[in-house]
Amino acid sequence: MGGNKLRLGRVLGIELKLDYSWFIVCFLVTWSLASHYFPMAHSGWPTSTYWSMALVTSALFFISIVTHELAHSVVSQAFGVPVRDITLFIFGGAAHISEEPRRARDELLMALAGPATSLALAAFFGLVWWATRAADGPPHAVAGWLAWINMAVGLFNLVPGFPLDGGRVFRAIVWSATGNLRRATAAASGLGRLIAFGFIVWGIWQIFDGNWANGLWIAFIGWFLDSAAASSYQRLALQDALAGHTAREAMMSDCPTVRRRLTLDVLVDQVVLPSGRRCFPVVEDGQLDGLLTLQRIKAVPRERWTSMRVEDVMIPRGELKTVRPDEDLNSVFERMVEEDVNQFPVMDDGRLAGMIARDNVLNFIRLRTEMGAT
Ligand SMILES: [Zn+2]
């Protein structure tokens, strides 16, 4: 997560974001095509031709990756699983699917849509490559590389371990065979780490064999896959645990509310310290006016606590992000991370129903895990 992403706009209602690591890839691809690949494959063309070919190829490669991710998203939306955004990062893309698919078959088709699209693009560029073979000009060279790279992306993503698409395919198969999503997730993640380990061993073997540049790349991909497998497992395990639960189940409904005219010294002595809570809805005549957090109080110098009132430091109602009681816990937790807030007031028809904080969500899971409930 974090803020190191560039917003590109919306396609088919899905927000496209670019992780800054993508620029490294874009530069490396363009540079290596212009200065190595194209001059080696077709010597004797002007340098400017190699560079313009490389730029066009990078742009089409970028569009290919976006198309792969859009394919996942379109299929997932067709199954009623919303996709909020797609982030393109160093090794390709990631569609941000905010809910788990409900059926193994949906998951299987969602996962296969991406690699199938890449292979279709490979076939398309292969056809262009074949049709332009007589002229043997820049279009032929560009199409050839794009056919090869899309095939590589399609096949690599079919490797059956998380976080790759093949990992989701594998999980869907185990899920439909066992009927147990949690066991399927663990199996796909374990296989993902095993495959990552295989890449690392293969890379190290290549390095000792003298192919240090290739070996370093392979080992690096293995290391990346391993950490991604571990983190995608944690995220999926969290999603599985939260699935089907709502904000109402995890919220606190006995929040001490405070009035806007209260001075901070009185508030701290009479409400904050006795309650042990960290945030306080400001309610007047049954209406939520704002929210006061411990952080906001601490930001005011202590000597001013006698003169400052709740209304001077609270987050006003208009700036508050709220959730509904029937909102899915996954979406509540994702919004906390995305909007970088610790808690949301839970609003039911304009009335404050409770508060939900990160701690509440985590405690909710911990308690249910300990009790063996799901
Ligand atoms: Zn994919």
Q: Does 353 score more than 70 pLDDT?
A: yes
Backbone region of residue 293 per phi and psi (left: phi > 0; alpha: psi in -120 to 50; beta: other values):
beta
pLDDT band at 2 (very low <50, low <70, confident <90, very high): very low
User: Comparing 85-99, 137-151, 215-229, 280-294, which segment has the lowest mean pLDDT?
Assistant: 85-99
Instruction: Measure 270 CA to ligand 1 centroid, in angstroms.
Output: 55
Instruction: Measure 173 CA to ligand 1 centroid, in angstroms.
Output: 17
**What residues have their beta carbon closer than 5 A to ion ligand 1?**
114, 157, 165
Instruction: Measure 129 CA to ligand 1 centroid, in angstroms.
Output: 24
Q: What pLDDT is recorded for position 1?
A: 39
Q: What pLDDT is recorded for position 96?
A: 60
Instruction: Measure 161 CA to ligand 1 centroid, in angstroms.
Output: 12
Instruction: Measure 169 CA to ligand 1 centroid, in angstroms.
Output: 11
What is the percentage of the chain residues whose pLDDT exceeds 70?
94
Other C-beta atoms closer than 10 Å to the C-beta of 232 total: 20
pLDDT in tens, 33-51: 888 888 887 778 888 888 8
In three-state form (DSSP H/G/I as H, E/B as E, the rest C), the secondary structure along the chain is CCCCEEEEEEECCEEEEEECHHHHHHHHHHHHHHHHHHHHHCCCCCHHHHHHHHHHHHHHHHHHHHHHHHHHHHHHHHCCCCEEEEEEECCEEEEEECCCCCCHHHHHHHHHHHHHHHHHHHHHHHHHHHHCCCCCCHHHHHHHHHHHHHHHHHHHHCCCCCCCHHHHHHHHHHHHHHCCHHHHHHHHHHHHHHHHHHHHHHHHHHHHCCCHHHHHHHHHHHHHHHHHHHHHHHHHHHHHHHCCCEHHHHCECCCCCECCCCEHHHHHHHHHHHHCCCEEEEEECCEEEEEEEHHHHHCCCHHHCCCCEHHHHCEEHHHCCCECCCCEHHHHHHHHHHHCCCEEEEEECCEEEEEEEHHHHHHHHHHHHHCCCC
Q: What pLDDT is recorded for position 90?
A: 57
Q: Could you tell me which residue, 317 or 2, shows the higher pLDDT?
A: 317
Q: Does 154 score more than 80 pLDDT?
A: yes
Mean pLDDT of the chain: 83
Q: What pLDDT is recorded for position 92?
A: 58
Q: What pLDDT is recorded for position 49?
A: 82
Q: Does 87 score more than 80 pLDDT?
A: no
Q: Does 150 score more than 80 pLDDT?
A: yes
pLDDT band at 244 (very low <50, low <70, confident <90, very high): confident
Query: Strand pairing partners for 83?
Result: 97
Highest mean pLDDT among 35-44, 52-61, 97-106, 250-259: 52-61
